[in-house]
Amino acid sequence: MASSAFIGSSFILKKKGLKRAGASGTRAVIVGEVANFVAYVYAPAVLVTPLGALSIIVSACLAHFMLKERIQKMGIVGCITCIAGSVVIVIHAPQEHTPSSVQEIWTLATQPAFLIYVAATLSIVLALILHFEPRYGQTNILVYLGICSLMGSLTVVSIKAIGIAIKLTLDGINQMAYPQTWFFLTVAAICVITQLNYLNKALDTFNAAIVSPVYYVMFTTLTIIASVIMFKDWSGQNVSSIASEICGFITVLSGTIILHATREQEPPPPV
C-alpha cells in the first residue's frame, strides 16, 4: 500500500511540470519501488502484484483534486471495483513459506516446470525483438508491452530471490558468498534494463492512457503465472480459495480498465 501511494502520487507530481515537483516525483518513484521490493520479500506475488492497482486509484484521486481532472461516475465505480477485488485477494491470499537459503531458491528456479517457462519466455521475447518489433512495433502495442511483461515476470522472481537473500544476510545468515545470489542479481539487472527500455518505447509511441491498463493486465497475469510455477504459491490451498483469488484478480482488472476508459483525455500541449 505504501508503494502504491508513492508511485501513484509520483505521476501527479511529474505532471505538474515544475522542476521541484519533478524531482519529488522521481524520489516518490524510488521510494515506491523500494517499498514494492520489500513487499515481495514478505508476501507472495499472487498477493503483492494485484495490489499494484491501488496506485492507479491514488493517481486518479490526486488528479481529481490537484489537476482538476474530474473522475466520471463510472470511474468511481472502477475505483470501488478495484478496492473490492483487492480485499478479496487479501482475504484469500496464500500463506507463503519463506525459503531458508539462496540454495533452496535455486532449487525452485531449476525445477523442470520453471525452466520450461523461462525457455518459452526468452524464446517469445527474442521473436518479438528480432522479427515483430521491426515490422509491427510502431503499430501494434502488444509488441513492446509483450516484451516488458515477459521480462517483468522474470524480474519479479529474481528480485524476490535477492530480497530474501538480503533479509537472511541481515538476520546473520550470510548469503553473499553463494554464486547463486550474484546470478539472481545479474538476471534482475538485465531484465530491469530491458523492461524499462521497451516500456519507454511503448510510452513514446502510444497513448499513456492505453499503455497503462494493457501493461498492468499483461504484467500482472504473467507475474502471477511465473510465481505460481516457481514458488508454488497455490500449493496447499483448496479449490475455493484459488477460485476466490482468481475472481478477485479479474475484479481488479475490470476496475482498472473501467477507470482508465472513463478518465478525461488530456488536452494537447500548447505549440
65: exposed, middle or buried (Cβ count in 10 Å: 0-12, 13-18, 19+): exposed
Q: Note the pLDDT tens digit of each residue in 11-41.
A: 566 555 434 444 444 455 555 556 665 666 6
- Does residue 164 surpass a pLDDT of 80? yes
The continuous run of DSSP H or E covering 157 comes out as helix 141-170
**Rounded to whole angstroms, what are the CA distances from 162 to 39, 99, 102, 181, 198?**
13, 12, 8, 7, 23
- Does residue 260 surpass a pLDDT of 90? no
d(CA 32, CA 145): 22
Phi and psi based region of residue 174 (left: phi greater than 0; alpha: psi -120 to 50; beta: remaining): beta
Q: Which residue has the higher pLDDT, 148 or 5?
A: 148
**Above pLDDT 90, what percent of the chain?**
18
Please count the other Cβ atoms lying within 10 Å of the Cβ belonging to residue 122. 13
Indicate the pLDDT class of residue 46, thresholds 50, 70 and 90. low
Per the prediction, the chain carries an average pLDDT of 78
d(CA 231, CA 222): 14
- Cβ(157)–Cβ(226) under 8 Å? yes
- Does residue 267 surpass a pLDDT of 60? no
Residue 144 confidence (pLDDT): 93
Q: Note the pLDDT tens digit of each residue in 174-195.
A: 888 889 999 999 999 999 889 8
**Rounded to whole angstroms, what are the CA distances from 131 to 80, 124, 137?**
41, 10, 10
Residue 95 confidence (pLDDT): 67
* Residue 163: all three cell numbers together: 530480497
- Does residue 261 surpass a pLDDT of 80? no
Q: Note the pLDDT tens digit of each residue in 205-214.
A: 876 667 777 7
d(CA 64, CA 68): 5
**Above pLDDT 70, what percent of the chain?**
75
Q: How large is the average pLDDT for residues 5-16?
A: 62
**Vertex 163: Cα angle to 159 and 165 (nearest 5):** 115
